Every structure is written in C-alpha cells, then in structure tokens.
C-alpha cells in the first residue's frame, strides 16, 4: 500500500466538489465522466458505477408537482446532501431572515434568470460561490443543494442542455425547487423579512475612540 493513501485520509476537511463521493455511506456523484458518456452508462455513479436508486427520466420531466421525488433523489449525491444538512453560517441565515419568504422568492428567481440562464461558457462551474466563500448567501446554498449551481449540474440532474438559454418553464421550475430548500432549511422566515443586526466581528471593541 502506498503512503499517499494515508496522507489523503488525514487531509481535513476535504473541500467538497461536485465530483466528490462517499459511496460506502450511500453518497455518490452522478456527473458523467467522458468514459461513461461513451459507454452510455450516464446516470450511474462516476466513482462506484452503481445505478442511481431513482429514475432520471422522471426528474427530467421537470414536473413542479413532483418536487418531493426530485429532492429525495438529489440527496443521493454527496455534494447536494451536504448542502441539505450542513451547518448554516450565521451570515447566510441573517441574509435569508432579512429578505423573508417573499424576498427570497425574488432573489432566487432573479439569480436563476440573470446568472444561470445564459448558455454555458468557460467560467461554468465557478459562477456560484461555495459555502466558505465570503460572497456566499442563502440563494447560493439553495443552488448547490438543488443542482442549479452551474449548467453542467443542471444538465445531468435536470436534463437541461447546457448550451441553450433557459426557458421560462425551466426558470420557474428551478426557482420553485430552490425555494423548497429555503423553506426546509429556513423554516422560521417571516413573510416579508425582518430587521437583523449585523454580526459584530469578534475582538472589535464597541466603544468609540
């Protein structure tokens, strides 16, 4: 056995990517590899090749009445399951509380429409801040959890080709899906938002010189 294996094991905490997996605990990665595309085995885990325990065709119907099924399916992938269960940073929660349900609906829809609708370019995959980024907010959390973070994820999860502009139906479906994340992870939001004081930086004195 090579030493590299142990080194890898000790790295903490490993930065999660869309291609990360933890197959023995049932958390896979379904982004197809070129080899899988060539062999027509898209839809199987890229690491362990196990068949996904759900029907891709059913997800690709983008049926707004079938969001429960889609959400259960998403949770089989490590990166999605992480965002459905990770600790929400205070800053991210405050953002959602200030917006409230209505404000979040607007913010999610606007983000999908303005930032995710154009066809994929070279920057695709890097356009949505991740959890430890200074710029991350609750909309981005929802996007990672529901696979609207980039056009590659949208393509294999939702069956939306990456080189066309999103249609109104697709924008509306992805926005509704994102809002399911918001209501599950931020169950106490007010309808129209509330005042939340900014987080004070630790160690900074409150007195004026």
Q: Which two tokens stand for residue 44?
A: 């199987």
The stretches of the chain forming alpha helices (DSSP H) are 3-10, 34-39, 56-60, 67-74, 78-85, 90-111, 138-146, 151-158, 168-185
Which range in 17-25, 30-38, 55-63, 97-105 contacts Zn ion by CB under 5 A?
Answer: 17-25
Task: For residue 44, give the 3-state DSSP assignment.
Answer: strand
48 vs 72 by CB, closer to Zn ion = 48
Q: Which of 149, 160, 166, 182 binds Zn ion (CB under 5 A)?
A: 149
Interface with Zn ion, residue 17, by CB under 5 A: no
Interface with Zn ion, residue 150, by CB under 5 A: yes
151 vs 185 by CB, closer to Zn ion = 151
Phi-psi group of 89: left, alpha or beta (phi > 0 → left; psi -120 to 50 → alpha; rest → beta): beta
For the CB of residue 103, give the shortest distance to Zn ion in the complex, in Å.
24
Which range in 9-17, 39-47, 62-70, 187-195 contacts Zn ion by CB under 5 A?
Answer: 39-47
Interface with Zn ion, residue 28, by CB under 5 A: yes
Interface with Zn ion, residue 47, by CB under 5 A: yes
Interface with Zn ion, residue 48, by CB under 5 A: yes
Task: For residue 36, give the 3-state DSSP assignment.
Answer: helix
Task: For residue 209, give the 3-state DSSP assignment.
Answer: coil
For the CB of residue 54, give the shortest distance to Zn ion in the complex, in Å.
14
Interface with Zn ion, residue 45, by CB under 5 A: yes
Find, among 85, 90, 135, the residue nearest to 115 by Cα: 135
28 vs 75 by CB, closer to Zn ion = 28
* Cα within 13 Å of Cα(62), Cβ side: 20
**C-alpha–C-alpha distance, residues 73 and 52, integer Å:** 9
Q: Which residues bind Zn ion (CB under 5 A)?
A: 21, 23, 28, 45, 47-48, 149-150, 153
């Amino acid at each position: 056995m090579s030493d590299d294996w142990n080194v890898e094991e000790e790295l903490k905490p490993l930065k999660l990517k869309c291609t990360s997996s933890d197959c023995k605990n049932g958390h896979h990665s379904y982004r197809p590899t070129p080899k899988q595309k060539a062999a027509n085995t898209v839809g199987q885990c890229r690491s362990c090749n196990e068949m996904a325990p759900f029907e891709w065709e059913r997800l690709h119907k983008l049926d707004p009445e079938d969001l429960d099924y889609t959400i259960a399916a998403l949770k089989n992938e490590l990166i999605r399951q992480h965002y459905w269960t990770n600790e929400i940073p205070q800053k991210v929660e405050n953002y959602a509380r200030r917006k409230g349900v209505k404000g979040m609906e607007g913010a999610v829809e606007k983000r999908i429409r303005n930032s995710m609708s154009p066809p994929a370019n070279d920057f695709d995959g890097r356009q949505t801040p991740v959890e430890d980024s200074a710029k991350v907010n609750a909309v981005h959390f929802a996007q990672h959890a529901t696979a609207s973070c980039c056009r590659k994820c949208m393509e294999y999860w939702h069956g939306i080709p990456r080189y066309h502009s999103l249609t109104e139906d697709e924008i509306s479906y992805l926005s509704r899906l994102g809002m399911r994340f918001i209501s599950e992870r931020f169950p106490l939001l007010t309808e129209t938002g509330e005042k939340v004081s900014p987080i004070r930086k630790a160690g900074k004195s409150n007195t004026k010189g």
